[in-house]
Structure 1
Amino acid sequence: MVKVLVRVGDEFAKAGVENMLGGGEQLRLIPDGHSATPDVIVVVVDGVVDRGTFALLRHYQRDNGPATRVVLVADRFRAEDLLVAIECGVAALLSRSELREGTLAAAVLAVSRGAALMPYRLQGILLDQIAQLRQQVLAPAGLTLFGFETRERDVLRLISEGYQTDEIAEKLTYSEGTVKNVLYGLMNRLRLNTRSQAVAYAMRAGVI
């Protein structure tokens, strides 16, 4: 049973949205302020998504935790706000004009299972924005999209290839102490116990 919180400014419109969601056996609507933590929050905006919308989403994140996913329904959405929306937990973007019987419930169920939904035109824009973030912000700071420093990635790559600490230091022109400090900082941050765990973590993340 997926617990769903609905947030719509207009009570009449809210009743309509809840009616769209309330007919199935897989969804359970909970009121605002309920002790149960929602799995999905449905936020319906009249007009364009703005700063007030994101402030509301951040409020729900603080109250319910970052794992709660959001289905955001609006008349218009600005492409430049995509990364902010994702940061606020938005996993699905729907147009109010596209809402039909069953479509909203299907989106909520899909999001609760880990899916992400957004118009095709926004998917391409999002990929471009992520590429710009990597090139203009992360790379100059020596970081990757997964939060690894460039030198952490380089050290882990060489460990995965079987090199020892002294050999890694020679290849990267670091001191052995620097190599050890890089590993210690990484493993401490990610709460890993061994080099093998660090390599496995990086491989799962696609860093090496």
Structure 2
Amino acid sequence: MNHTSADPIRVLIVDDHAVVRRGIRTYLELLGGIEVLAEASDGQDALDTLKAMAAHRELPDVVLLDLVMPRMDGVLVTSRITSQYPDVRVVILTSFGELERIQGALANGASGYLLKSAGPDEVVAAIQAAARDEMFLDPAVARRLTRQMVSPPTGVGALTERERDVLILIANGYSNKEIADELVISERTVRTHVSSILRKLRLSSRTQAALVAVREGLVPPQT
């Protein structure tokens, strides 16, 4: 990285809520050693901002990035940033704690992951760690990842939130097209989810999946 300890850490804040961006900016600007270069309102805006910064050779050291945003989510944005700007570090700051998204962001090169319940000191520590090319994880996130490694979830617990939604609709007798309409996704995506559900639950049919959903209390038994 180009950052040295004598320089302020240059930060780009990315969040779709203006009040959150302003709050973070206000706090960081009160501190010595951190300079907020700009703000972006979503993932695409972040990439456009970085492109403009790169043209002027003014890239940030750290991007503080929300995970759930319109137009482009934080997992994909993280991948784009780390591949296009290898010297820029990404710290995720989000209220979203789903394990699969955490793993996706880290797999795509994020240098830190914080929940928005974190204190200001933790946010600063994460930014400083990223600038030193170190990893910083929210303690709650670290515990969840550790539990995942020690005891990987099985059965319904291994399903993502979206897969659980699909399983519930399967158990309620929905066809793939009806599931697609209900969840506003493509039928192809539904088929992918169904295949993943059957694989994770080690089942061979939708009927078996529906029975598992009833047994696990996801849906009431049919009367």
Could you tell me the TM-score, scaled by structure 1's length? 0.51
- Cα pair 2:92 2:112 within 8 Å, conserved: yes
2:140 paired with 1:118: no
Which residue of the other structure, out of 87, 101, 111, is the alignment partner of 2:107? Answer: 87
Structure 1: distance between partners of 2:91 and 2:129: 10
2:16 paired with 1:21: no
CA offset digits 1:147-171 (Å, max 9, x no partner) = xxxxxxxxxxxxxxxxxxxxxxxxx
- Residues 129, 5 of structure 1: CA spacing in aligned structure 2 closer, same or farther, 3 A cutoff? same
- Cα pair 2:90 2:109 within 8 Å, conserved: yes
Paired position in structure 2 for 1:199: none
- Residues 80, 96 of structure 1: CA spacing in aligned structure 2 closer, same or farther, 3 A cutoff? same
- Measured on the aligned residues, the alpha-carbon RMSD in Å equals 2.9
- Residues 30, 78 of structure 1: CA spacing in aligned structure 2 closer, same or farther, 3 A cutoff? same
Paired position in structure 2 for 1:54: 75
Q: Which runs of 5+ in 2 are unaligned?
A: 1-6, 39-48, 152-223
The Cα of 1:43 is off from its aligned counterpart by: 0.8
Q: Which runs of 5+ in 1 are unaligned?
A: 133-208
- Cα pair 1:4 1:40 within 8 Å, conserved: yes
The Cα of 1:61 is off from its aligned counterpart by: 2.4
- Residues 7, 121 of structure 1: CA spacing in aligned structure 2 closer, same or farther, 3 A cutoff? closer
Identity rate, percent: 17
- Residues 13, 128 of structure 1: CA spacing in aligned structure 2 closer, same or farther, 3 A cutoff? closer
Structure 2: distance between partners of 1:120 and 1:105: 15
Structure 2: distance between partners of 1:43 and 1:124: 21
SS of the residue 1:97 aligns to: coil
Paired position in structure 1 for 2:219: none
2:77 paired with 1:70: no
Paired position in structure 1 for 2:62: 40
CA offset digits 1:118-175 (Å, max 9, x no partner) = 234543554576799xxxxxxxxxxxxxxxxxxxxxxxxxxxxxxxxxxxxxxxxxxx
The Cα of 1:42 is off from its aligned counterpart by: 0.2
Paired position in structure 2 for 1:168: none
Could you tell me the TM-score, scaled by structure 2's length? 0.48
Structure 1: distance between partners of 2:103 and 2:68: 21
CA offset digits 1:70-121 (Å, max 9, x no partner) = 1111112211233321122212211112233x43223211221133222345
